[in-house]
Structure 1
Amino acid sequence: MKKTAFILLMILGTFNISAQELNQYKYVIVPEEFELSKEVNQFQLNALTKFLFEKFGFEAIMKRDEKPLDLQENYCLGLSAKVKDNSGLFVTKLVVQLEDCRGNIVFETKEGRSREKDYKKAHHEALRDAFSDIEDLNYQYDPAEVSTLSTTNNKSKTEEVEQAEIAEAVPATEQRETSNEAKTPTSAPPELVVENPMISSASAKELSFEKDAKSYFLEKSETGYSFFQKGSEEPFAVLAKSGDENSFIYKSLTRQGVAYFEENGNLVVEYLNSENKSVKQVYKASSN
């Protein structure tokens, strides 16, 4: 009996920690279409997801809507909502997941279930059942907890992010010679939130690149470039102008350094890693 009580207390303790950590996130971003769907807002599931998050205290935003200024400046204030379909032949089963700006699942609900035969009713019932876990969180945004967004990564996580931070670019103007001092970063905090990862790219020219058998592209704007991995709708890094038209300040979720173009169109990014060692990455221009 004591052993059972101890296990229950451990489970409840873990749940409370998860609930407290979620309070540092201000927004939930809901896509117009989930992976389980065959069309936009199928069964009105996306609209219902937004409604339920708002009902339980979150500030929910559809992905294509204009983002608030603080979210534009720090995309890590938001969590991305996902709905996972585990349905069987006779039971509709849905799980709601919350993913942070680094692609980590920070919260997952129980499996919401429904035996309704009508698809729309079944999906709504299963989703509401899953949201009972979110209701129990008693979520309330706490600005005091926001600082933990940029200080919780350990060394292994930092190295993992380093591998994911691949930015490719082609210069839109003629190469200019830059000094060695301009190409070498003098400092780079191990954790630096992107200052503005949502640079407007309306009508900007799209440029394509390749690295490690993966495709990327960047979009040019008045303030520099936004980096994208092919298939992603959100940039993972930016290049901000630093005076010389060929020199840029490189900023990602966890890194700050410098970037410059080579004469052949390749982009060089240099920054200091968590061990204060210089890292240099060269990204080849693609003809596609």
Structure 2
Amino acid sequence: MKKISLLLIGLIAMVFSTQIKAQETQELEDLNYFKYVVIPIQYQFQSEENEFLINSLTKHLFNEENFTTYMDVESKPKDLTFNRCLALFAEVKSESESFFSLNTRLELILKDCNNKVIFKSEGRSKLKDYKEAYHDALKDAFTPLQSFNYEYNGKNSYDSSKFEEEEQKSPIQKEPKKETKSFEETVKEKLIGTYSLFNEEYSISKIEAGYILTNTATAEKKAFINVTSNNSLLFNSDTINGTLVINDDGDLEVEYFNNASGKVEKATLYRVE
């Protein structure tokens, strides 16, 4: 009788485990219906924008898994502007902010435009340093995505003809910039110019959505710089997503998460003129 009970328990556990795996697989497959991931510049548990570079790291980790990402403060492509349902909206929740907690637990959530949860994952870390713990837990939360080959399948595509009609009827109304004029002028004056990095020359110029960093010799666009509503600067390229600070010498210091080393590092573009 005891053996039969144990066998029955084992079968129930096996069926339950299979159902959970099937649900997780379906959640991952559903990600292919979405073209973009939008990441907020500040999560609810943070006291300031991009605190501990958690938001920049979120963007970086999604990019590593072949998702097309935008921070919510960045200029968006036209199809996403007219149809926000093309995107998933990322949230990160912290469940353990006490210093005396045994570990740090973060929850990564992806919701659609109707606020429905499409994907959810949890990450943990036993590190005590806040910054290192948050980064470690966030990377852990991305583990399920690492074994999933995301590829947008186009089944959530936007009707281009409708887009053209809407664009003619109602052009995009630009939201007024939240930065004060004096701050914009200061940033523009300090950013625009020529810089040197690893014996290569780069130039920064103003564009409608922010600023662009270009290789002077090849004219190749290397990075975009955006001003946030909190008057901070975001630096985004194919390999680096972080924050930018203009030091007293006019040099640009970029702080970012290095996925190869697993650490937060800095790179400096030195002002030439």
TM-score, normalised on structure 2? 0.53
Q: Which residue of 2 aligns with 1:54?
A: 63
Cα deviation, 1:160-181, whole Å, max 9, x if unaligned, reads: xxxxxxxxxxxxxxxxxxxxxx
Q: Which residue of 1 aligns with 2:34?
A: 25
Compared CA separation, residues 7 and 40, structure 1 to 2 (3 A): same
Cα deviation, 1:261-281, whole Å, max 9, x if unaligned, reads: xxxxxxxxxxxxxxxxxxxxx
Q: Are 1:101 and 2:74 an aligned pair?
A: no
Equivalent residue runs for 1:103-118 within 5 Å? 103-110=115-122, 112-118=123-129
Are the counterparts in 2 of residues 85 and 93 from structure 1 also a CA contact under 8 Å?
Answer: yes
Cα deviation, 1:199-258, whole Å, max 9, x if unaligned, reads: 324459xxxxxxxxxxxxxxxxxxxxxxxxxxxxxxxxxxxxxxxxxxxxxxxxxxxxxx
Compared CA separation, residues 29 and 12, structure 1 to 2 (3 A): same
Letter in 1 for 2:172: I
- Alignment partners' CA distance in 2, 1:53 and 1:68: 18
By how many angstroms is 1:98 displaced? 0.7
Equivalent residue runs for 1:148-227 within 5 Å? 199-203=172-176
Q: Are 1:92 and 2:92 an aligned pair?
A: no
Q: Which sections of structure 1, spanning at least 5 residues, go unmatched? A: 150-194, 205-288
Out of 6, 9, 15, which is 2:15 matched to? Answer: 6
Report the count of equivalent residues: 159
Please, what is the CA RMSD of the aligned residues?
2.7
The DSSP-based 3-state class of the residue aligned with 1:98 is strand
By how many angstroms is 1:7 displaced? 1.7
Out of 16, 20, 24, which is 1:15 matched to? Answer: 24
- Alignment partners' CA distance in 2, 1:49 and 1:23: 18
Letter in 1 for 2:156: V
> Greater helix percent: which structure?
2
- Alignment partners' CA distance in 1, 2:171 and 2:148: 30
Q: Which residue of 2 aligns with 1:146?
A: 156
- Alignment partners' CA distance in 1, 2:16 and 2:74: 43
Cα deviation, 1:73-98, whole Å, max 9, x if unaligned, reads: 21100011110011153221100011
Letter in 2 for 1:127: L
Are the counterparts in 2 of residues 25 and 79 from structure 1 also a CA contact under 8 Å?
Answer: yes
Letter in 1 for 2:127: E
Q: Which sections of structure 2, spanning at least 5 residues, go unmatched? A: 1-9, 159-165, 178-273
How many percent identity over aligned positions? 36
- Alignment partners' CA distance in 2, 1:199 and 1:83: 30
The DSSP-based 3-state class of the residue aligned with 1:38 is coil
Are the counterparts in 2 of residues 30 and 63 from structure 1 also a CA contact under 8 Å?
Answer: yes
Q: Which residue of 1 aligns with 2:52?
A: 43
By how many angstroms is 1:135 displaced? 2.1
Cα deviation, 1:107-143, whole Å, max 9, x if unaligned, reads: 1112x11121111101100111111122233322111
Equivalent residue runs for 1:231-246 within 5 Å? none
The DSSP-based 3-state class of the residue aligned with 1:20 is helix
The DSSP-based 3-state class of the residue aligned with 2:54 is helix
Letter in 1 for 2:47: K
Are the counterparts in 2 of residues 109 and 134 from structure 1 also a CA contact under 8 Å?
Answer: no
TM-score, normalised on structure 1? 0.50
By how many angstroms is 1:42 displaced? 0.4
